[in-house]
């Protein structure tokens, strides 16, 4: 069974469209409402998603792990994670699932693998994120900070995220190293809009995330 996991915070205006766009490619769509105050959970449920709700906001990493845990208990064999802000195109899901079918454990989407219109500042931030991830894990992933990923049966069973915030993307790379998962990278489309750009991480938050990642890798 293929399950899509979508962590969401205050995305009531977008989540229904993302759920409906993902449904044709997976058996179930799980949305984790991470303490939203705008009815995100209700909108997702109305669109046909299975909704879990954190009573309080815990962060993107914690919400993703809740979704993965729920999918496991539903009997998922493959899981695809994607953002709730329409940045990721669900039409790329078949490519991610096809890569899993070749036997790899994890598929990392790569927004820089094709001609996407990505603002230069985003490219710089993502490059820094990749370098921090390399320093923390010893593994180079072309788009380490992208939330669009697919996990095969082995990774679905073994994945355990501890980090609550955006550091979870780097933690997944670390898990790949630690658990010796096989992986591949697949180019995907990215849909940036004024909305998604405004919702992105601030520079200060990015620095904080980078420091946390490095500190965690050292003190773990």
In sequence order, the 6+-apart residues with CB closer than 8 A to the CB of 194 are none
The answer to whether the beta carbons of residues 2 and 24 sit under 8 Å apart is no
Contact between 220 and other proteins by CB under 8 A: the answer reads yes
State the Cα–Cα distance between residues 65 and 81, nearest whole angstrom. 10
Binding segment (CB under 8 A) for other proteins, from list 6-14, 103-111, 116-124, 210-218: 210-218
- 140 alpha-carbon distance from chain centroid: 18
Contact between 47 and other proteins by CB under 8 A: the answer reads no
Q: H-helix or E-strand containing 139? A: none
For the bound state, the minimum distance from the C-beta of residue 194 to other proteins, rounded and expressed in Å, comes to: 31
The widest CA-to-CA distance across the chain, in whole angstroms, is 44
Residue 44: Cβ-neighbour burial (10 angstroms; 0-12, 13-18, 19+): buried
Q: Which of 3, 8, 22, 62 binds other proteins (CB under 8 A)?
A: 62
Of 99 and 136, CB closest to other proteins: 136
Of 66 and 126, CB closest to other proteins: 66
Q: Which of 52, 82, 155, 156 binds other proteins (CB under 8 A)?
A: 52
For the bound state, the minimum distance from the C-beta of residue 68 to other proteins, rounded and expressed in Å, comes to: 10
By residue count, the chain amounts to 220
Contact between 177 and other proteins by CB under 8 A: the answer reads yes
Considering CB under 8 A, how many residues would be counted as binding other proteins? 33
């Amino acid at each position: 069974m293929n399950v899509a996991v979508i962590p969401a915070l205050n995305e009531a205006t977008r989540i229904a469209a993302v759920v409906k766009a993902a449904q044709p490619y997976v058996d179930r769509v799980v949305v984790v409402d991470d303490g939203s105050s705008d009815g995100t959970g209700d909108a997702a449920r109305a669109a046909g998603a299975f909704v879990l709700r954190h009573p309080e906001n815990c962060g993107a990493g914690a919400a993703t792990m809740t979704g993965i845990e729920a999918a496991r208990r539903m009997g998922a064999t493959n899981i695809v994670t994607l953002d709730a802000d329409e940045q990721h195109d669900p039409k790329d899901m078949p490519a991610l699932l096809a890569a899993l079918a070749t036997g790899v454990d994890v598929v990392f989407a790569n927004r820089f693998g094709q001609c996407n219109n990505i603002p230069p500042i985003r490219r710089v931030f993502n490059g820094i994120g990749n370098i921090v991830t390399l320093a923390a894990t010893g593994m180079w992933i072309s788009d380490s900070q992208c939330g669009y990923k697919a996990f095969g049966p082995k990774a679905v069973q073994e994945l355990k995220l501890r980090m609550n915030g955006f550091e979870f993307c780097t933690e997944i790379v670390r898990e790949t190293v630690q658990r010796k998962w096989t992986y591949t990278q697949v180019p995907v489309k990215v849909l940036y809009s004024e909305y998604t750009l405004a919702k992105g991480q601030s520079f200060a938050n990015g620095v904080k995330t980078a420091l946390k990642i490095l500190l965690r890798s050292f003190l773990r």
